[in-house]
A and B are shown apart, each in its own frame.
Chain A
Amino acid sequence: MSLEDLYKEVILDHYKNPRNKRELPGAELASSKNNPLCGDEITVRAHVEGGRVAEVAFQGQGCSISQASASMLTEAVTGRSVGEASELVAEFRGMMEGRVEPAEEELGDLVALKGVVKYPVRIKCAVLAWDVLQDALSGAGDASVAGAQFGEGPGPVTG
């Protein structure tokens, strides 16, 4: 297993050019979580219209895997019904826990994240955004629990 299998082009593309990384004013559903081990943090917000996820956006910061996974999530769930979105979360988790052989037609680009399974400590990075989405969908979400906000880069301390 080489690093190129972990850091596939599609993952790096989503990391460098994240889709739907923005605020979503008036979102009906929202949730936040951070990963206390590494400080990754993700907020997911969604507009739901007629039982369908009409628009999804995320904000946060973290490693390439967590951010790419969040970006891919926004594309994957848009247009699905709330029930279908929940099923996708379950399927994605199944793939990341190594329980489910991913169906490419169902997961699409998300299959690229399967390489993460070989790196156990990184699985939670990939799953973070999906946990947040599930909380939001099930109404358990609390967007106010997002951890402290960090700057975009290193601070002034050099010496």
Chain B
Amino acid sequence: MTKVIEQRPDVLDVERIRKDFPILERLINGRPLVYLDSSNTSQKPRQVIDTLTEYYERHNANLYRAVYALAEEATSLFEAARDKLARFVGAPDPRCIVFNRGTTESTNLVAHGYARKVLKEGDEILLSVVEHHSNLVPWQFAAAATGAKLRFIPLADDGSLDLSGLDSLLTERTKMICVTGMSNVLGTVPPLRQLADAAHAVGAVILVDGAQLVPHSPVDVAVLDVDFLTISGHKMLGPTASGGLYGKRELLERMDPFLGGGEMILEVHPDRSTFKEPPWKFEAGTMNIAQEIGLAAAVDYLEALGMDAVREHEKEITAYAIRRLSDAGAKVFGPSGVERRGGAVSFWFRDIHPHDLAQVLDTQGVCVRAGHHCAQPLMRVLGVPATTRASFYVYNTESEVDALVDALGEAERIFSR
């Protein structure tokens, strides 16, 4: 629908990329916007915004249920988006992609449609202590409903997952491993293939929370051999409420529907119904049509950049940020080596509370996240009430890291009065 930038397989031309993001022209408190909160939500390139506009101006109609041309266009764009997202994550078949509002909804779908159907009392779900609430609370629900127990992989001192006790944590009672692909707080990247093999060896399935992994790293579900991968569109340049779930075909077929309603059914009788095949049996009601079509434009954009180049850029800027922050006196959490971490950099600076710090940074035009990052159990492990987090994406530059460090100096000045 829109033209995308040319392929540059080696390094990102960040200055040119920045021109695609209209919001980066904004001033905040009279200063250029320094947006360092992409782990929270990413900004959107013109190509995605234009795709949304074009969809609503030229193609808007509801899916499947009409025979006129507009509806056929909308349906075909929507299904093409499914195709595109499937290829992006290495799924063998677009029917392995369920569209929904993103990772939280995807995790709840698996917790409801799979876990509640399969788990029995005494079974176990293995999580890690770094999980986002969205990859914890749905499992608490599933455990409460089935009598299953939750167990947790601890954190090692170097910020990686401590897998030394995996043999005792992972047993024939384990039916699911649900683990982040890249921590939104520490950046930690677990060895996913190793965990997938370990899960399969005891007959368990593995769900990977891809909220941070998919936007920031090349992902191939066939290589990783994961059973479920949750995907957040709004963190990968796409619209809010876009994304979905990758699931292995046979697992999606075993799953119960989650939401009942229109479009997910084959036949409806007063007392019973039959359902479409996956993924459509999980897509009740009018879908997030424009958003998923917009996400397809985001995938085009990222593929034109090349996900290897995206990952390389983030490794470089993350290494630079860790060095500058440490030199400035900040305590940086998580793995120090960028080979095994992503671009979410949480830190603690001179005993200034993260909320105070973020407030001062905002006056300097610097947007960071302060708080528990939807990971309260992890905050307790780290021994802090909250952290300040800077996170990076394709449009961030080292000079923006410099602006962050300068703004920290301003905070220090105010709080040392």
A residues engaging B (CB < 8 A)? 2-4, 6-7, 9, 12, 37-41, 61-65, 119, 122, 125, 148, 150-151, 153-159
Contact = CB atoms under 8 A, between A and B. Distances in A.
Given A151-B383, A158-B158, 4 more contacts: A39-B376, A41-B385, A119-B359, A153-B351
B352 to A, nearest CB: 8
Interface in B337-366: 337, 348, 351, 353-356, 359-360, 363
Contacts of A38: 355, 370-372, 386
Interface of B: 155, 157-160, 186, 331-337, 348, 351, 353-356, 359-360, 363, 370-372, 376, 379-386, 414-415, 417
Contacts of B332: 158
A157 B381 contact: yes
B379 A12 contact: no
Contacts of B157: 156-159
B359 A3 contact: yes
A59 to B, nearest CB: 14
A148 B417 CA distance: 31
Output the residue of A4, A9, A39, A151 with the most chain B CB within 10 A: A39
13 contacts: A3-B359, A7-B356, A7-B414, A61-B385, A62-B355, A119-B359, A154-B382, A155-B381, A156-B157, A158-B333, A159-B158, A159-B159, A159-B334
Contacts of B359: 3, 6, 119, 122
A41 B379 CA distance: 14
- Closest 4 interchain pairs by CB? A155-B383, A151-B383, A159-B159, A159-B158
B186 A157 contact: yes
Contact of A7 (B376, B382, B415): B415
A37 B363 contact: no
Contact of A64 (B336, B356, B386): B356
A103 to B, nearest CB: 27
A112 to B, nearest CB: 14
